[in-house]
Structure 1
Amino acid sequence: MRRITQLLITGLAAGLTVFVGSRMTFSGYAEEPAPCPAPVRFMGYHSYLRDLTTLKEFGALGIDVVTFFPANTLSSVGVPYSPYPPIWIGPGMHRLDCVDQQIHDILEANPRAKIILEIDLNTPVWWPRWLGAAADRDDSFTKLGKVAAHPGWRQDTREYLQTLLKHLEANYSERIIAYVLVGGMTLEWQDMARGEESAVRRKAWRDWMIAQGLPDPVDIPPASVREHVTHGLFRDPVADRQSILYWKFNADLIADTILFYAKAAQEVIRHRVPVGVYYGYWLEHAAGRLLYEGHLGFEKVLNSPDVDFFLAPGSYFDRQIGGASGFMVCLASIRHHRKGFVHEIDHRTHTAKSVTLLGRPVPGHESGFPDEQSTIAGLRREFALGLINGTALWWFDMFGHWYDGAAVRQALAEMASLWQRFSPIQTRSVSEVAVFVDSESFYYLDGHASIYNDLLSRQRFGLARMGAPYDIYVFSDLATVDLSQYKMVIFPNLFVVDDEKINLLSEKVFKDHRTVVWIHSPGIIWNGRCDPDGVEKLTGLPVGAQEITVKDFSTWRSVLAPKSNLSGATLREIAQKAGVHIYCEEDQVCYVNSHFIAFHTARPGEWQLRLREPCSRVMELFSGQEVGHNVQQITCRADGPNTFLYLLEK
């Protein structure tokens, strides 16, 4: 029997939740065992609506993991998130019968349901208005940073959270398999206050500075100071020090708020099931967002034992049919820290376009899938992306009608069957390209500069069309990541360096004949001062070059790209010279791991996928067709929008 067959796990539990002892893993990567309890890599269903018919129909497809959100707040499109009454209706007043009713309805529609519950930690409508309290209170949905340090909000919300969790654990522990703590704009811990002052934020800022051993700043820096940039794109470590410190504080504040509630949750559930948050959108938040919205505190949350997994929708920047989709987070670091990730598939389908809220289409429909064929190809792409990258996933039927139509439902049923068969396989990354993103450097960069878009958000376009897989880490993980599989390492934003970073790079990266790719102005902030000569000191290449320049050292190659957002063709050329295996020679989308390769296109045509080594047998899983035996090259033929998913038997 072939090795791949031996890896298949038989005797799976009903539906798509697989229990292995009492442990839960969100990762299908063998080298990253999971730290927390419950089901293996679930495929789930999520909706804000009370659509019990659709919920029942998804159960009939074999999708038994159900996420629901008993909300206390309005959504960003001005309508309630939930059709059920709110639970938290006043000071110390909790209508727990409302959550009971929601769980009752779910179990009536699908008696096999395993539940993931999103807990709303935003300020309810009454909280900032109660007894004229608006003088020192604000709405956390729109102005999270202005209220995050408010002791009253934290105390009241902690009481609500723990009251709800005690009720749920006492009555539904056999059904609930995970909790998600949500807050801020669109429930994703996004702070839209842009650093604005409030009394509690000012106090928190002063306390934070004193805790760092720095002078009491007395006041929050005004906007003219917060936004000041001395050297064009870059802040000066001395002249702009207050601004740099303030944005670090801002990120710390949001991270600390998340961890305050995560700790409160764990005091009740005691790590019985995993706790997750939507957070860490470094690859998505670009100009005007990443510096300001608080997600730069991701590493602090990543390192906390109280948070077990992260969630994010697929990228909004490349999700059209034919696009590469992709993740908003540094997924390789999440795996490295043995945390889980849920890929939320909320992509606008051709039937979702019919949904209007307050007379307007649901935002995002412009890049939605235009027809049934595109919808099926797009959903298959997202499925393949999650399967190959070792994530959990759920189909987000946001405000209903996302997955209407017999053909779409049949496609979902087929994917549910494939998930049940293949998600338990322990796979591994075969990436030979690693990308390391430096959070420290973002504080020194003009938060509104368009280069923000090119360094990470748009750079995913080229990376995804390079023809080879890649892993994205946070720079702070460089010391502990095993680099032996990587022939090429990219630093897209390493503007800030010091002796410690230089020593780490010398020890870990500048060796084994590895190719190192630097973007824009690496090392321009050198040991605490702005120094353009730092670029040459770091890379060995002169600053000011207008084109890509290369220098070979005895143990490594340095490649400096002065312009960000390298194309797929450019990256492919650099990667080929570095000895990286290229699976696809054209600017098309493919995903690869040790056991699967997927290919996605929007147009008719024929393309070749070249494998690293011959496979004893290759199967295309969506069609069920055998490609052949002893295969090293696969021909993909498409008559229009399509996604192919191949199982590689070694």
Structure 2
Amino acid sequence: NINVPGWWGLRYPDELFVSNRNRRALQSFCSEIWRQNSIDFVNDIIKSLENRPVGVSVSGVLLMGFRGGEFQLWGENVGEYDCSAPAQKAFSTWQRKKQVSPEIELPHPALEYPFQEGENYDLIRKNFFQFVAERSADNITWFASEFKKQHGDKYSFGVYYGYPMEHSASLKRMLFSGHLGIQKVLNEAPLDIISCPASYSLRRLNLSHAYMNPVDSALLHGIMPILENDIRNYATKFFGDSSGTTVFSLRDSQLTSSKLNLLAAAHGTVVRYYAIIEGMDFFAPLPMIKSIAQENRLLMKLKPAPLGMKDQVAMVIDTMSWASCASPAFNDQITRKISELRDTLMRTGRSVAFITIDDWEKNAERWENVVIPLPGVLSQSRKEFLEKTFEKLPTLKLNDVFMVLRKGEKTLVCDDTKEVWQATALPQVLSSEMKNVWYVGGNFTAIWDGNKLDIKINDK
């Protein structure tokens, strides 16, 4: 964990976060001193461990920082942003590099949340949130590069990052968190691992579960995603998590874990069991250990869905363009549907790929069914590529929610997840009225109807 201790803040008070409302936290995300001190700290820990017997067991580093240890910037949950001296300097440098004119200083009334109308306010906000995303991504790339420069491939290196699909349930978190830069991280950072908890928005028993980050893009870049199972189970009856989820029975606890494992198996990724409550290992009760062992025996038989397999649908996200959502034209009711779309597509009977638009463009021939959230904020070059791949696009409004593209079919623009489902569900699934969740892998299909989990393996 590279959040700074108290003594560091006393030594470097000007390197700490100061919000637009003059509230304070730990390190500024633009502090060069913090970055250098942090990587020195990580390397010192590795060196110390290497000189002990335990050193032979060190396999890598999972770096954590900011809110939740997940590089969610200070203030993101309340719509506040960094106005410290390092942030002001970094933003000024970014504006000059991008030839932004006129330049603005921090704080600025255009950036106050909820957003208001004003001259050039939308452009000011778009520029600022692109800066926040790029700087956050650059931090992760810098840490990964410096770590690899020191240790090469001897150790794995990973972070928690890339949650814009999850953050979209709250417009302010989507913008202020710093996670819109996920494509930049995937393109540039020498990561071995990228981790996220199972979606907090979609962890109730009747829902599908989901990754917070674009899992299949990570795989395309040779990065192993870890899906974290931290869902409180029957052993923690009096401890719900922030999603409001409390699992009361052993049966439902086992089903919750099974669904998470099937989701990971469909993509070919790792599940980490994380008993997050201090002093209480809620995966330690013998019934859970037996259940996990049984699950592992099953999982060893399952194969992931190949990217672009027959009938697969791709959810394609252009997160950097979502900086344009910093406008009164958008609200939580609009962006929340992006989060919900992950569950909707899992009900189509199809395998689902979750990828960034850069990675989709490089592999566009693999998919005949594509759903793009927020098509109205796409750049002109993105739209032109889509027209070359599919057909001429209809006229788009800035705050259109979804665009569904299918080879040989008319492009659909809509604002409702039910319409997306109707346009993408396999014919044999349409009669289910979105009741069932499908986990489709390379050699298996599992159906969850809200009560029973039916798993079929094709051994051929």
TM-score where L is the length of structure 2:
0.85
CA distance in 2, matches of 1:170, 1:436: 46
SS at match of 1:435: strand
C-alpha distance in 1, partners of 2:405/2:265? 39
Q: Which of the two has greater strand per residue?
A: 1
Counterpart among 202, 207, 222 of residue 108 in structure 2: 222
Aligned match for 2:287, one of 377, 398, 407: 407
Q: 1:456 to 1:218 in 2, by over 3 A?
A: closer
The answer to whether the Cα contact below 8 Å between 2:14 and 2:85 also exists between their aligned partners in 1 is no
2:218 counterpart letter in structure 1: I
Asked if 1:298 corresponds to 2:108, the answer is no
Matched, 1:649 2:456: no
RMSD: 3.3
Give the whole-Å Cα distance in 1 for the aligned partners of 2:242 and 2:380.
Answer: 45
Instruction: Give the counterpart letter for 1:382 in structure 2.
Output: L
Deviations 1:2-48, CA, capped at 9 Å, x for gaps? xxxxxxxxxxxxxxxxxxxxxxxxxxxxxxxxxxxxxxxxxxxxxxx
Q: CA deviation at 1:591?
A: 0.4
Q: Report if the CA contact (8 A) 1:348-1:368 is conserved.
A: yes
Distance 2:26 2:137 in 1: 11
d(CA) in 2 for partners of 1:247, 1:593: 37
1:232-271 paired onto structure 2 within 5 Å: 240-271=122-153
- From the superposition, tell whether residues 228 and 374 of structure 1 become closer, same or farther in structure 2 (CA, over 3 Å): closer
Asked whether the equivalents of residues 166 and 268 of structure 1 are also in contact (C-alpha less than 8 Å), the reply is no
Query: Does structure 2 conserve the Cα–Cα contact (< 8 Å) formed by 1:146 and 1:196?
Result: no
Does 338-347 or 164-173 show the bigger shift?
A: 164-173
Residue type of the partner of 2:382? K
What amino acid is the match of 1:373? R
Deviations 1:128-147 (A, max 9, x none): 134xx43542499x978961
Q: How far did residue 121 of structure 1 move? A: 1.1
Report if the CA contact (8 A) 1:123-1:139 is conserved: no
Per the alignment, do residues 263 and 551 of structure 1 end up closer, same or farther by CA in structure 2, a change over 3 Å counting?
closer
**AA matched with 2:296:** A
Q: What is the CA distance between 1:563 and its match in structure 2? A: 2.0
Amino acid at match of 1:504: F
Residue of structure 2 equivalent to 1:574: 423
Q: Name the SS of the counterpart of 1:342 in structure 2.
A: strand
Counterpart-to-counterpart distance in 1, 2:301 and 2:352: 22
Which residue identity does 1:370 align to in structure 2?
A: F
Per the alignment, residue 351 of structure 1 pairs with 235
> Structure 1 residue 153: deviation in Å?
1.5
| Paired AA for residue 389 in structure 1 | H
1:387 aligns with 2:271: no
Q: 2:161 aligns with which of 262, 279, 282?
A: 279
Matched, 1:438 2:311: no
1:414 partner amino acid: Q
CA separation of 1:139/1:402 partners in 2, compared to 1, >3 Å: closer, same or farther? Answer: farther
SS in 2 for 1:394: strand
Partner of 1:374: 252
Q: Does 1:496 align with 2:348?
A: no
The match for 1:152 is 33
Displacement after TM superposition at 1:222 (Å): 1.3
- Pair 228,383 (structure 1): closer, same or farther in 2 beyond 3 Å: closer
Shift of 1:226: 5.3
- Give the % identical residues: 20
CA shift for structure 1 position 315: 0.7
In structure 2, distance between residues paired with 1:551 and 1:152: 47
Question: Could you report, residue by residue, the CA deviation over 1:473-495 in whole angstroms, capped at 9, with x for unpaired residues?
Answer: 212223201433x3321122111
Aligned in 2, Cα 1:146/1:242: closer, same or farther, shift over 3 Å? Answer: farther
In the TM superposition, what are the counterparts of 1:506-545 in structure 2 within 5 Å? Answer: 506-510=387-391, 523-524=396-397
Aligned counterparts of 1:316 and 1:591: Cα–Cα separation in 2: 19
Aligned partners of 1:341 and 1:391 also within 8 Å: yes
**Corresponding residue for 2:74?**
192
Using the TM superposition, give the Cα deviation of residue 351 of structure 1 relative to its aligned residue in structure 2, in angstroms: 0.9
Is contact 1:468–1:581 with CA below 8 Å preserved after alignment?
A: no
- The answer to whether the Cα contact below 8 Å between 2:267 and 2:305 also exists between their aligned partners in 1 is no
Letter in 2 for 1:154: R
Out of 437, 447, 452, the residue aligned to residue 599 of structure 1 is 447
3-state SS of the aligned residue for 1:351?
A: helix
Q: CA deviation at 1:214?
A: 3.2
Q: In structure 2, the residue corresponding to 1:599 is in which secondary structure?
A: strand
Question: Of the candidates 205, 208, 212, which is equivalent to residue 98 of structure 2?
Answer: 212
Three-state SS of the structure 1 residue aligned to 2:164 is coil
Q: CA deviation at 1:363?
A: 3.1
CA distance in 1, matches of 2:103, 2:110: 16
Q: Is the 8 A contact 2:369 2:404 kept in 1?
A: no
Quote the Cα distance in structure 2 between the aligned partners of 1:427 and 1:166. Answer: 40
Superimposed CA distance per residue, residues 149-186 of structure 1 (whole angstroms, 9 cap, x where no aligned partner)? 22322222222112112233455554222321111100
| Distance change >3 Å, CA 473–CA 550, structure 1 → 2 | closer
Taking a change above 3 Å as real, the CA distance of residues 476 and 144 of structure 1, as seen in their structure-2 partners, is farther
2:87 & 2:403 partners in 1: Cα distance? 46
User: Which of 37, 48, 51 is the equivalent residue of 1:167?
Assistant: 48
Q: Shift of the alpha carbon at 1:268? A: 2.1
Whether contact under 8 Å (2:3, 2:27) holds in the other structure is: no
1:404 deviates by 4.6
What amino acid does structure 2 have at the position aligned with 1:439?
T
- Residue by residue over 1:187-245, the C-alpha shift from the partner in whole angstroms, topping out at 9 and shown as x without a partner, is 000013332311110001111111223357362251434558678xxx99x55322211
124, 134, 137: which one pairs with 2:16? 137
CA contact under 8 A between 1:177 and 1:274: conserved in structure 2?
yes
Structure 1 contact 591–597 (Cα < 8 Å) conserved: yes
Partner of 2:48: helix, strand, or coil?
helix
- Aligned equivalent of 2:415: 563
Alignment match, 1:588: 436
333 and 365 in structure 1: CA distance in 2 versus 1, 3 angstrom threshold: closer
Q: Which has the higher helix share?
A: 2
* 2:448 alignment partner, SS class: strand
* Residue aligning to 1:316: 200
Query: What per-residue deviation string (whole Å, max 9, x for no partner) do you get for residues 263-283 of structure 1?
Result: 221122212232111101011
Change (3 A) 1:246 1:426: closer
Summarize deviations over 1:269-302 as a string: whole Å, max 9, x none: 2122321111010110022201110000111111
Other structure's SS at 1:444 match: helix
Query: AA paired with 1:334?
Result: A
Distance 1:258 1:412, change over 3 A: same
**Secondary structure, aligned partner of 1:283:** helix
Contact 2:17-2:26 within 8 A present in 1 as well? no
3-state DSSP class of the match of 2:233?
coil
What corresponds to 1:72 in structure 2?
Answer: none
Residue number in structure 2 paired with 1:422: 301
Match of 2:216 among 332, 336, 355: 332
Aligned in 2, Cα 1:589/1:416: closer, same or farther, shift over 3 Å?
A: same
Q: Deviations over 1:484-517 (max 9, x none)?
A: 3x33211221113444223311222339xxxx9x
